[in-house]
Amino acid sequence: MIPKRLLLPLLFVALCSCQNHKYIQARGVIKDSAMVVSARIEASTIGAEILKKGGNVFDAMIGTELALAVCYPYAGNIGGGGFMVYRLADGSTGSLDYRERAPAAAHKDLYLDSSGHYQQDLSKIGGLAVGVPGTIAGLFEVHEKFGSLPIEMLIQPAIDLANNGFVVTEQQAQRINKYGSIIEATSGGSSLYTRPYKTGDTIKNPALAKTFTTIAQKGVDGFYRGPIAQHISSFLQEHRGIIDTTDLANYRAQWRTPITTTFQDLTIISMGPPSSGGICLSQLLGMLEDHDLSTMAHHSSDYIQIIVEAERRAFADRSHYLGDPDFVTVPSAQLLDRDYLQQRMSDFTSEKATPSSEIGYGTLPTYESDETTHYSIVDPKGNAIAVTTTINGGYGAKLFDDDLGFFYNNEMDDFSAKPGTPNMFGLVGGQANAIEPGKRMLSSMTPTIVERDGAFWMSLGTPGGSTIITSVLQVILNTQLFDMPLQQAINEPRFHHQWLPDMVRFEPQRFDSLVLKSLENKGYVIHQKESTIIGKVDAVMRTADGRLEGGADPRGDDAAIGF
């Protein structure tokens, strides 16, 4: 007979050693009817309060997004843009593109000097890095189509938050203090975010409250026309920018058809171009479905290898074919064709790594020639959204507008500034993502909704640049193939490959050293120092008993609030 004191450890070993093991399961916030999960508790609370007052998921989006612009200035914004994917309770789906656009004066060689050298900093820091912001246009577009409560009522909580202030978390204090001097140098003087802060301090932003008040009173034109637009244009031009009032007046958000694919009994609905997220995620799932991943142990060398090889191929296609569909023909159907995806994996061997130098973009049969934050919301009626919004790098272009109270994006760096030259995420691109006036830069943002057997199952997404796509993939695989509860699936360590540079990034010290050794022996270059964290996934899942689980990523200060 086994002594009692050994029962628990033995059970643990048995659970962990079986192939498709059930985990010691972390659970998120479980509630009956509604859930908001975002990067900050204040934003999730504001979204949930709007739902409690009878607002729908789109009303909650407006409150949550503006609250993030106040209390999560690292990525929450009105100076940037984003994407929203929705699935209504009746099963209809759609998506909104409120991505930034290149100003009219932008051109292919905007960041090259007279000798053709790429001037790295100009696409990342200061006014020239800024794309025409889309967030306010996006929110008003959402409200016009789907909003149920008056817009002033949805903006007011963010005005109050900006006036009353929010409490600085430890992570936030570290970040603000780290970036303060560069914000000061770029913005040309001291401002709200150049002061030193410590955990527990309160930050009030009355300038942003005033900007919101003008927008609440004057509507979308309060931002894109008139005094605010004039201020934005002259402020940016004083900081080497080229955005003018016509660029702002011409900005429009676009409704787009999402990318939909299937994986086993799941239907995945995600963002299409100008995001690469939906296409790459669908390619990955398509390449992986033929290989029986569920027979492999989670995070075993075989499991990691096959995912890495699929990622290598999807990112090679991304770099060649994907760009703004209003400017280039994106061969979405061919890229998602199952025969094509099968053929892409035909040279895969489990014996060794396929070097990226041997993997180009795929040949399509009839191709004509190309710091971010995520939140997920489900309302009591069962409508769901997944929204990823960004100013690109942490604090965007590091350009803080003290008069209007917000940071500007550095989204222009997401263009391919010079073919073959990597951007800040190490991504390389070509002609399809070259800079053109009015064009949207290619994104990796992957706000995604998953149906199981035709019903809503999950809404998810994450920041993380190129790692967004692979983080979303891994959470879907963790839940679908390994039956993990949502929170556990989010907590699990993550890895990433993006074709170039040819290396696999792993969250440090979280993977079995023998597994890493075995991958190294097959020729994979392993990096554990590149990223301390990979992704920061926020998600909502319908549980087997019909309730909602809110999964907030412990890698950040993220919070799920439901009722």
**Cα atoms in the Cβ-side hemisphere of radius 13 Å centred on 149:** 21
CB closer to ligand DON out of 241 and 382: 241
Token digits of residue 70: 């106040």
Token digits of residue 432: 């399809």
CB closer to ligand DON out of 205 and 471: 471
Is 450 in a helix, a strand, or coil? Answer: strand
User: Is residue 298 within 8 Å of 21, Cβ to Cβ?
Assistant: yes
As measured in angstroms, the least distance from the Cβ of 168 to ligand DON is 20
As measured in angstroms, the least distance from the Cβ of 175 to ligand DON is 12
As measured in angstroms, the least distance from the Cβ of 315 to ligand DON is 12
Look-up of token digits 């989006």: 61
* Alpha-carbon distances, residue 511 vs 45, 497, 503, 505 (angstroms): 35, 15, 16, 11
Residue 241 has phi, psi (to 5 degrees) of -80, 170
Q: In the annotation, is 64 catalytic?
A: no
As measured in angstroms, the least distance from the Cβ of 465 to ligand DON is 4
Cβ atoms < 10 Å from Cβ of 339: 9
CB closer to ligand DON out of 383 and 462: 462
CB closer to ligand DON out of 205 and 392: 392
CB closer to ligand DON out of 362 and 463: 463
d(CA 199, CA 389): 25
CB closer to ligand DON out of 305 and 372: 372
Catalytic position from the list 64, 135, 372, 470:
372
Is 539 in a helix, a strand, or coil? Answer: strand
H/E/C letters for each residue in 223-271? HHCCHHHHHHHHHHHHCCCCCCHHHHHHCCCEEECCEEEEECCEEEEEC
As measured in angstroms, the least distance from the Cβ of 440 to ligand DON is 10
432, 414, 431: which is closest to 423 by C-alpha?
414
Tell me the helices (H) and strands (E) count for the chain, helix number first. Answer: 17, 21
d(CA 251, CA 102): 10
As measured in angstroms, the least distance from the Cβ of 411 to ligand DON is 6
Name the CA radius of gyration of the chain, rounded.
23
Which helix (H) or strand (E) covers residue 159, if one does? helix 151-164
As measured in angstroms, the least distance from the Cβ of 422 to ligand DON is 14
Side chain identity, residue 298: H
For the four alpha carbons of 546, 547, 549 and 550, in that order, the dihedral sign comes to positive
Token digits of residue 282: 């669908």
As measured in angstroms, the least distance from the Cβ of 273 to ligand DON is 12
CB closer to ligand DON out of 96 and 209: 96
Please tell me whether the peptide bond between 73 and the residue prior to it is cis, using omega within 30 degrees of 0: no
CB closer to ligand DON out of 127 and 461: 461
d(CA 473, CA 349): 21
Which residues bind to ligand DON, rule: CB under 6 A? 371-372, 390, 392, 411, 414, 443-445, 463-465, 468
Residues belonging to the active site: 372
